[in-house]
Structure 1
């Protein structure tokens, strides 16, 4: 028994290989290590290579957790191959790559975890994997590991997917025929939602993404011992309470903003750095609209042009992050209207990268025009900045619905669809930036989020409860 008490609890952490999934899980890993547990964080080799290049390190032995380890945390770094050449363009071959992640990657993970577990018999391992993966339940069971799922989506989104069967029974996953504007009010824990606000991956069951997420988010997650959510209890307690009737669920977010924050280091490394601070200092409080869309979303040239002209017509100050990956051509000079940067003068600032939290927390910023990826939505709420919502895909429409209808901290740029008109864009921006009520509501949400991460806040208490429950679960498995 004395030896058993000295055994180290050790997390093996697998993020989905996309920036919006990596960042919150990096911070979760650091948080777990801060509780005295060991952590091995596993990147795919192509992600490791991208980060290595961004850090301008010519060696391949880059350790992104070295600072944390120097401070006494037991956090390790490992890589795993996905069998594709490093130069293979995984974004350009998205369906092919997702098919691999769904069907073939689990065998690589199985072998990888088997070697780790067998190499150290003095540790009690448990698995923490992104909720989108379809393999954790099977592999955890094979190696008798406690299975912890981490959801990088809103709890409302997770709750809807958790009841994929109910949506299917009611012809709402996918929508059959020409059913439009139907309210869904039968999912336990989920607030009433229009079918047009559902996640886009529910619409096409034939796509590899939908098939993979059905296997992961719906089927495999039901095998989890614990489910962690990157949200706060106060804003999504109905969904979390309903989910707790099935499995232990914990709202521990926003993990992007944990005090032991290594996320910014990773994020900054991927994009050229630009300093917006001096420009913001010259603007009056609440006068600047921050515009940024996720790098994985392909936005058409026409939309970008209409956005650009709408911003000019609005006469509102703005910072616009236009970076590689957001545009069809990948070349901002060919997509932004000719002469646009000259015409904006000092009213606008075009940058390829910025520290998003730094910008959103600046008093000059009064709004955020966003696709509503969950990380950006969290960061906007954390800073008390209301949003103009322009969702395109995945969970973005549902996140926008939460922002606009449930939390009253934003507006939609357009009703249900992706087409935009420059005059409408200008009118919406003008009206939004002059409306104080959104800022007032956003300040209330900001207080809720920041209170959750205080020492006695709900997310801190939930995290401590998770660690205690995890230790009890591991102890039971050892005894058995």
Structure 2
């Protein structure tokens, strides 16, 4: 682990996925970490911040999401990075190009941010990224940093993705035959029906950028140092216990900070 130059604590670079359902719990977890003495540099994409501003979710001063936390003395910095596409590009209408950018272009800009932070007065000590970033562990290892994966959904969903190889070997993943027999072989999960699987796991075309990103993400997450999940231990004890046999996996949810702390 790098030696932190910060007098207040270890420095985490937290890179969130550019979706509101991922951004919100990431913001809350970042505040919780800062409240426990960590220095946090929180990064999202320029395009997502532009989208938030245009929708009225954020003022033109993009630091407002952490203004309340900083007013309380928490050390949270906010950075914007390019996802490799122009801010004006219509990501909603061209999802395949957007997913391809997240897969292939965004990591270059995160790499540049890591390099900048390593040369700062408080060098970054570890990387936290959304689980769906399929390049996270590789990038962290490149810079000699521990890598933490942040999963924003229940552990139940994580373990289904984590065991995609079992779905494949049993013919339930991307099956052209649309198998309908009950799935009983995923560790830590009771019997579920194929129709309970996320639509991504039922698509037959596995060559799309989205499918590649999902598949690579769950290969990459097996190499991360540990996983933090936005779930509650008591609600998913069995699933979490089984996952912990595979990977250090910790429930840290619900990741929600009080409104006064979170908003400026």
Q: Same fold (TM over 0.5)?
A: yes
CA pair 56-177 structure 1, distance change in 2 beyond 3 A: closer
CA-CA distance at 1:57 after TM superposition:
4.3
Counterpart mapping for 1:179-198 below 5 A: 179-180=179-180, 182-198=181-197
| Partners of 1:52 and 1:62 within 8 A in 2 | no
Work out the CA distance in 2 between the residues paired with 1:245 and 1:31: 27
How many correspondences in the alignment?
Answer: 258
CA pair 32-108 structure 1, distance change in 2 beyond 3 A: same
| Partners of 2:72 and 2:261 within 8 A in 1 | no
Secondary structure, in 3 states, of the residue corresponding to 1:184?
coil
CA-CA distance at 1:8 after TM superposition:
3.2
Work out the CA distance in 2 between the residues paired with 1:145 and 1:214: 23
Post-superposition Cα deviations, 1:19-51, rounded to whole Å, max 9, x if no partner, equal: 011000000000000001100111211222233
Work out the CA distance in 1 between the residues paired with 2:18 and 2:138: 20
RMSD of aligned residue pairs (Cα, Å): 2.2
Stretches of structure 2 lacking an aligned partner (at least 5 in a row): none
CA pair 245-5 structure 1, distance change in 2 beyond 3 A: same
CA-CA distance at 1:246 after TM superposition:
1.6
| Partners of 1:150 and 1:228 within 8 A in 2 | yes
CA-CA distance at 1:203 after TM superposition:
1.8
| Partners of 1:63 and 1:77 within 8 A in 2 | no
The answer for the alignment partner of 1:241 in structure 2 is 241
The answer for the alignment partner of 1:103 in structure 2 is 104
User: TM-score, normalization: structure 1?
Assistant: 0.51
Work out the CA distance in 1 between the residues paired with 2:150 and 2:197: 21
Post-superposition Cα deviations, 1:264-310, rounded to whole Å, max 9, x if no partner, equal: x59xxxxxxxxxxxxxxxxxxxxxxxxxxxxxxxxxxxxxxxxxxxx
Flag the structure with larger Rg: 1
CA-CA distance at 1:147 after TM superposition:
0.6
Does 1 or 2 have the higher relative contact order (CA < 8 Å, sep 6+)? 2
CA-CA distance at 1:260 after TM superposition:
6.0
CA-CA distance at 1:137 after TM superposition:
0.4
Stretches of structure 1 lacking an aligned partner (at least 5 in a row): 267-480
Post-superposition Cα deviations, 1:218-265, rounded to whole Å, max 9, x if no partner, equal: 20111111101111111211111111012111111111x3336766x5
The answer for the alignment partner of 1:24 in structure 2 is 25
CA-CA distance at 1:52 after TM superposition:
3.5
Work out the CA distance in 1 between the residues paired with 2:6 and 2:98: 43
Work out the CA distance in 2 between the residues paired with 1:89 and 1:251: 35
User: TM-score, normalization: structure 2?
Assistant: 0.90
The answer for the alignment partner of 1:73 in structure 2 is 74
Post-superposition Cα deviations, 1:169-204, rounded to whole Å, max 9, x if no partner, equal: 111112241422x11111111221111111111122
